[in-house]
Amino acid sequence: MKKALAAGFAALASLLLLAVHHSARLAEPAPASVSRAAPRPADTAPRTNDRREAPPAIALGDPELERQVAIVIESMDRTGRPPAGVAQGGRRSGRRGVFENAEGRLPVQPGGYYTETDVWPRAEGGRGARRLIFGRGREVYYTADHYRTFMRIR
């Protein structure tokens, strides 16, 4: 119980810090390469079959996070694996790297359609809550809160 409570407080603190950081950054002019447009809902993002498309402009409110997400996406596109040190998750009882969409928060697809990775390399204290979910149709979703909410970034 104490572990769960501590994890809950840690997640809440992370979200609050992200919100404060994001609100402070909204007052700054955006670099030309970063869109400040509101993220699209998961079911209205553009779809493309071009495997050589330019990397998406990722607007997450934190340039360091945006760079790391781009690195992980590029590695997954190029090799099918996250970069060294970044875990490829999955349920403990399931196949490594497979995201089962058990909560049904992403579009329903056949089993094995989605794979998942962490965003950051594993650090002392655990893997954190941020994940990237990759669909076979080349869609990419980001979650900052361990699958409670998603933002489609490609």
pLDDT, tens digit (0-9, with 9 covering 90-100), for 50-87: 444 445 567 788 899 999 999 999 999 999 999 999 99
β partners of residue 98:
115
User: Which residue ranges make up each domain of the chain?
Assistant: 2-152
CA distance 91 to 147: 13
H or E segment and range at residue 146 = none
Residue ranges of the chain with per-residue pLDDT less than 70: 1-57, 90-94
Is there a contact between 133 and 150 (Cβ–Cβ < 8 Å)? Answer: yes
